[in-house]
Amino acid sequence: MEVYLYIALFAPLVGSLFAALFTATPKKMFTGVIASLLIISAFVSSTILLMYILNGGEPVQVEMMTWMATGDLYIPFGFVVDQVSVTMMMVVTLVSSVVHVYSVGYMDHDKGFNRFFSYLSAFVFSMMVLVMSDNFAGLFIGWEGVGLCSWLLIGFWYHKESATWAANEAFIMNRIADLGMLIGLFLIYWNTGTLQYTEAFAAMPGLDTEILAWMGIFLFIGAMGKSAQFPLHTWLADAMEGPTPVSALIHAATMVTAGVYLVVRANPLFDLIPHVGLFIASLGAFVALFAASMALVNRDMKRIIAYSTLSQLGYMFVAAGLGAYWVALFHLMAHAFFKALLFLGAGNVMHAMHDELDPFKMGGLKKPMKWTFIMMTLASVALAGIYPLAGFFSKDLILEVAFVDHHYILYAVLLFTAGLTAFYSFRLVALIFHGEERYKLFGIHPHEAYKYMLIGMSPLLILAIIAGSFKMTYFEMVTALLPATEYHIHSHLTFWIMTIGTQLFVASSIVYAYKKYANNKITVPDGTSKMENSFAYKLLFNQYYIPYIYEEYLVKPYRELSTIFWEQIDLKIVDASVDGIAGIVYGTGEKTRAMQSGNLSTMLKWMVAGTVGLLSLAVVFGLAARYSDEIMAILSGLGV
């Protein structure tokens, strides 16, 4: 089995390095094809490993080599394939295979075709390191690797000012969170003496609760950055500047779920500190509602889906925070499928509409883009959680978890958010695909995407539909590692009322969204309607003014402070002292260069002067050494 582990891990790296060879050359089709094939081979290996684990195989653990061994510190490059990591491996390799195939078509006309595949495969490799590592240090390497690849890919079109800005924003926000994560890792190492998962978790029950709480909090700060939880959420929406396949793979399906994976992986720690778990759950519920509300009014197709991702991450954190780790992981998996599908569909629409993002300028696209229409509608149904698609099984389960654990406020918030989710998803679908063909005003002739792109997307479509049916198989598998709490509502009547009630609520939101946005009266908003001038609309449209507040109260004061430090400290103290030393050297050189007249006679005179000087020094020191006692006596008599 180890060979499959190594294939799954290193095939993406080989693909990345291979594509990197051609980054400076014009587009070569085979880089995309070979990178895709290597990712697919990683996917096949992961599938074999999944089958092995499903059939009751022991987790595969390998120690490839020693990374650090100094004193008591021992960190190997160790990898493990157990029930949790194999789930993540499946999600990562499957979605990235689809995205690779899709990108061959999507990046068809891009000058950076080869470079794109190099970055994308490098991302997959980092993500595999992240999920397969058997210690926190390896996880951190992967964590930083995906951060780097995310930066590279958001800023892929680096000639665009907004793209580089968004890339830097994402990177800097993640750095802030990574500092928290590092502190968490240091705390773990100091208190348990190891970074290996199994050993560290085994040592944790013997520790003080306060220390454990700090570990949990700092690890969660790291997770907040990667998973874009409030208040570090602004980067995710701006990250949509990157190419759409990147948004699908990194900013919807895999990287942003790394935070959830971390919490799930560290479940023995979070089980010991339920109060921190409750905080995580509350923050998750808040983010779910907060992000969904921003998605209601946004006029950027990709941003709407990004806020939806944020909201669903909130759901996952509610489940993880309440101790339902397997539920969180299950929603992570289901969400990866339908959200990636939604993003890829949005990519098709963007291509057809010549990079237009405002859904108000589209409308009626269901005729020219029939397959994309079907895929995005089904993905939205899955996202809304309608029976029997994937979202129903995973998202309703989170609602049940909140209900069974008697967190009724969380339950109410999540239920309300489920309605909002349905509304904004179908607002988007209705605006893009139904109603009048408003795009004709802008002189655009939309066309469906390439056949192989659609075929490439189909596995995601199938999984978005049927993923729910794997629930019990999945449950039996992961509960070998995760706490096997089943969430059953005891009374049958309550269960049916809740399920049917939720379904009706969600369905009515969908119908309302269709009614409001699928008609022929929709026009491109021009800022004059009553709704657009209401306070609530402005608040939501401007993302609660949070980017503005960050700019005004964090970025600008920081910039001013930096200017002060630059002008007062750097220029006047640091630079001045360095320049001063250089000035002294220059000055003495300038003054004494007359000595070097080139005249042998003058030089000889200087030589004699030097000899005399050195001789007299030798005499003075010799005398001082000989009569040191007397000199000391005289000096102490003078009171020195």
Partner 1 sequence: MEIGLNHYLALSAILFAIGLIGVMRRKNLLLLFLATEILLNSVNVAFAAISHYYGDLTGQMFAFFVIAIAASEVAVGLGLLIVWHKRHGNIDLDNMSTMRG
- Binding residues for partner 1 (CB under 8 A): 593, 596-601, 604-605, 607-608, 611
In whole angstroms, the minimum distance from the beta carbon of 67 to partner 1 comes to 55
Judged by beta carbon, residue 451 or residue 605, the one nearer partner 1 is 605
State the Cα–Cα distance between residues 375 and 398, nearest whole angstrom. 25
What is the closest distance, in whole angstroms, from the C-beta atom of residue 113 to partner 1 in the complex?
59
User: Please, are residues 340 and 100 in contact by the beta-carbon 8 Å criterion?
Assistant: no
Least spacing, CB of residue 612 vs partner 1, in Å: 8
**CB nearer partner 1, residue 521 or residue 593:** 593
With CA atoms as reference, report the closest residue to 128 among 154, 94, 92: 92
136 and 200 in contact (C-beta within 8 Å)?
A: yes
Residue 77 three-state SS: strand
Among residues 279, 285, 232, 225, which one has the least CA distance to residue 256? 225
- Closer to partner 1 at the Cβ: 55 or 601? 601
**Residue 563 or 611: which CB sits closer to partner 1?**
611
State in angstroms the smallest separation of the CB of 603 from partner 1.
9
CA dist., res. 244 & res. 264, Å (int): 28
**Three-state DSSP class for residue 386:** coil
Least gap, CB of 610 to partner 1 (angstroms): 12
Using the minimum distance from each CB to partner 1, give the nearer residue, 520 or 596.
596
Least distance CB 582 / partner 1 (angstroms) = 20
Q: How far is the CB of 622 from partner 1 (least distance, A)?
A: 17
- CA dist 252 and 304 (Å) reads 12
* Residue labelled with tokens 């942003």: 256
The C-alpha angle 147, 153, 155, rounded to 5 degrees, equals: 105
Structure tokens at 372: 């994309």
CB of 615 to partner 1, least distance (A): 11
If the CB atoms of residues 68 and 607 are measured against partner 1, the closer one turns out to be 607
Contacts of 117 (CB under 8 A, 6+ apart): 15, 16, 19, 31, 32, 35, 100, 103
Kindly tell me which of 590 and 629 has the beta carbon lying closer to partner 1.
Answer: 590
Distance in angstroms between the alpha carbons of the first and the last residue of the chain: 80
What six digits make up the tokens of 91?
A: 């999600």
**Among 126, 181, 131, 118, which Cα is nearest to 148's?**
126
Instruction: Give CA–CA dist 328/319, Å, rounded.
Output: 5
Q: What is the DSSP string of 472-489?
A: HHHHHHHTTTS-------
Instruction: Give whichever of 68 and 617 is closer to partner 1, judged by the CB atom.
Output: 617
